[in-house]
Amino acid sequence: MIRALLAVVNRDLLLARRQRGDVVNVLLFFIIVITMFPLGVGPDKDTLRLIAPGIVWVAALLAAILSLGRLFALDYADGTLEQIMLSGQPLSLAVLGKITAHWLMTGAPITVLSAAAAIVFDMAPGPTATLVASLLLGTPSLSLVGAVGAALTLGLRGAGVLVTLLVLPLYVPVLIFGALAVDRSVGGLSPAPWLMVLGALSLGAAALAPWAIGAALRVSVE
C-alpha cells in the first residue's frame, strides 16, 4: 500500500514537472496578490505589519482554490481515474497520494514563499516564523478540503465556480486560526494554541477527507 501511495505521488509530481505552467500560475498569483496590497495600502510600516497575516493567508487560500480545477479533471478525462478504481487498491489511498502531490506542488511552495512575503510587509523574525509555521500546518487542510469540492463537482459544467462556492465557507476557520496565530505572535503572546488547532484541523481532514473524496469520485465516474 505504501508503494502504491508513493507511485501515485511520483506520477502526479512527474506530470506537474511536464506541465509547469499550471504550478507556476498558482505561485505567480500568490506573489501578485502579496505585492499588490502594499502598493494599494501605502508604505506605512505599521499598517503593513498589522494587515500582513490576513493578506498572506487570503492569498494562500485563493491560490489553493485556483489550483483545484485540475486536481482530478485530467485523470477523469483520459480514463486514468477509472483505471485507479479498478486497480484493486483502496481508492482513498490513491486520493491521499494525489492530495499529497497537490500539497507538494502548491502548499509547500506557498509556505516557503511566505517567508519572502513577510519581508515585503516588514515583519519581525518571530511573527515571520509563526506565519510559516501556520501555513505549514494549515495548508494541508486546504488541499484536503478543496479536494472534496473538486471531487463533488467533477465533470459538471461550471465546476470552477461550484468548487469555489463549496469550499470557501469551509476554508474560513483555517483562515481565521492562521491569522490569529500570527497576530498573537505580533502581540508578544504564544501562538501555540492556534497552531495546535490548525494541526488538529489538518489531521482531522486527513482522516476523513479521503473517504469522502473516494465516495464522491465513484458517484462522478458512474
DSSP 155: T
Q: Which of 78, 71, 69 is nearest to 97 (CA)?
A: 71
* pLDDT band with cut points at 50, 70 and 90 for residue 111: very high
Mean pLDDT, residues 16-38 taken together? 85
Residues 110 and 107: their CA atoms lie apart, in Å, by 5
pTM of the model: 0.89
Query: What stretches of 91-191 show up as alpha helix (H) in DSSP?
Result: 91-102, 108-120, 125-152, 159-186
Convert the pLDDT of each residue in 44-54 to its tens digit.
Answer: 778 888 888 88
Distances (CA, A) of 133 to 143, 193, 205: 16, 13, 18
CB atoms within 10 A of CB 171: 23
Residues 205 and 100: their CA atoms lie apart, in Å, by 13
CB atoms within 10 A of CB 192: 13
Q: Where are the domains of the chain?
A: 2-221
Q: Is the pLDDT of residue 177 over 80?
A: yes
Torsion of CA 161, 149, 26, 205, to 10 degrees: 150
- Residue 110 C-alpha cell reads as 506557498
Please state which of the ranges 136-140, 153-157, 193-197 shows the lowest mean pLDDT: 153-157
- Angle in degrees, CA 162, 95, 103, rounded to 5: 75
Convert the pLDDT of each residue in 54-102 to its tens digit.
Answer: 899 999 999 988 888 778 887 887 787 888 888 777 888 888 889 999 9
Residue 152 has a pLDDT of: 86
Q: What percent of the chain has pLDDT above 70?
A: 99
3-state DSSP call for residue 162?
A: helix
More confident residue, 2 or 109: 109
Distance from CA of residue 65 to its chain's centroid? 7
Convert the pLDDT of each residue in 119-154 to its tens digit.
Answer: 888 888 899 999 999 999 999 999 999 999 888 888
3-state DSSP call for residue 138?
A: helix
Amino acid 80 reads T
Contacts with 115 (C-beta within 8 Å, 6 or more apart), sequence order: 128, 131, 132
Question: What DSSP string runs through 165-188?
Answer: HHHHHHHHHHHHHHHHHHHHHHTT
More confident residue, 43 or 184: 184
Q: Which of 181, 175, 56, 174 is nearest to 130 (CA)?
A: 181
Give kind and range of the element (H or E) at residue 19: none
Residue 117 has a pLDDT of: 86
